[in-house]
A and B are shown apart, each in its own frame.
Chain A
Amino acid sequence: DVKVTQSSRYLVKRTGEKVFLECVQDMDHENMFWYRQDPGLGLRLIYFSYDVKMKEKGDIPEGYSVSREKKERFSLILESASTNQTSMYLCASSYDRQYFGPGTRLTVT
């Protein structure tokens, strides 16, 4: 069974802090994704990566960056957290379909 794990289930950060969200998958998938999930807005793609050190912007990359130094790990970075980045963040990896992690609920105060 594919396992996608995320470093935290819940996170509370202050405005202006640098925030790291980590995602690890154990199935040697090349493709990994970061989404944010908001009520009434569905899932919106922030960034994705199709190989180590490769990254592509999704639909809403502003205010975010990513890092993929190893195949199994894909990190989402909020350089300076803002209150409008309070959200549920979902990571996924894929081969023929996307497998999702449990999500990190980030609150920025």
Chain B
Amino acid sequence: AQRVTQPEKLLSVFKGAPVELKCNYSYSGSPELFWYVQYSRQRLQLLLRHISRESIKGFTADLNKGETSFHLKKPFAQEEDSAMYYCALAGAGSYQLTFGKGTKLSVIP
């Protein structure tokens, strides 16, 4: 069975401080990993996916197969980064996503 674990329910950081949102997964094959974000009163939207290896809004995430992790990082947090962040996994060849329970990021001015 596949599983996604986000150990922090809530993460508070000061503006300008580095951010790391943790995500660990359990899957026997080669998964595809995603980070989704939900800003207040907005719909859930894709932030980034590991296969594209791009940086969106200053966020990056690297898939570490050895540690089965896909942590989301940003060097300098901004107030507009305050949101709910979900890590998600799709199994090889699957359209289904398994989501973590989410981490609420609060950036303190």
Contacts from A to B (Cβ < 8 Å): 31, 33, 35, 40-45, 48, 50, 58, 90, 92, 94, 97-98, 100-103
Q: Does B64 reach chain A (CB closer than 8 Å)?
A: no
B101 adjacent to A90 (CB under 8 Å): no
8 Å CB interface, B40-73 against A = 43-46, 49
Contact pick for B86, options A42, A48, A94, A101, CB 8 Å: A42
A103 to B84, CA, bound (A): 15
Interface size on B, residues (CB 8 A): 17
Q: Does B99 reach chain A (CB closer than 8 Å)?
A: yes
B95 adjacent to A48 (CB under 8 Å): yes
Q: Does B31 reach chain A (CB closer than 8 Å)?
A: no
Given the known interface contacts A100-B43, A102-B43, the answer about A40 and B9 at a Cβ–Cβ threshold of 8 Å is yes
Residue of A nearest to B87 (CB): A42
- The number of inter-chain residue pairs (CB within 8 angstroms) is 40
A48 adjacent to B96 (CB under 8 Å): yes
Q: A42-B100, A50-B95 are in contact. List 10 more A-B contacts (CB 8 A).
A: A31-B95, A40-B101, A42-B102, A44-B99, A45-B97, A45-B98, A58-B96, A97-B34, A97-B46, A100-B44
Given the known interface contacts A42-B86, A43-B99, the answer about A98 and B9 at a Cβ–Cβ threshold of 8 Å is no
CB distance from A77 to the nearest CB of B (A): 21
**Most chain B C-beta atoms within 10 Å of own C-beta, residue among A35, A90, A97:** A97
A33 to B88, CA, bound (A): 14
A42 adjacent to B44 (CB under 8 Å): no
A42 adjacent to B101 (CB under 8 Å): yes
Neighbouring B residues of A35 by C-beta, 8 Å: 99
B102 adjacent to A98 (CB under 8 Å): no
Residue of B nearest to A97 (CB): B46
B101 adjacent to A94 (CB under 8 Å): no
A31 to B95, CA, bound (A): 8
8 Å CB interface, B69-91 against A = 86
A42 to B98, CA, bound (A): 10
A97 adjacent to B102 (CB under 8 Å): no
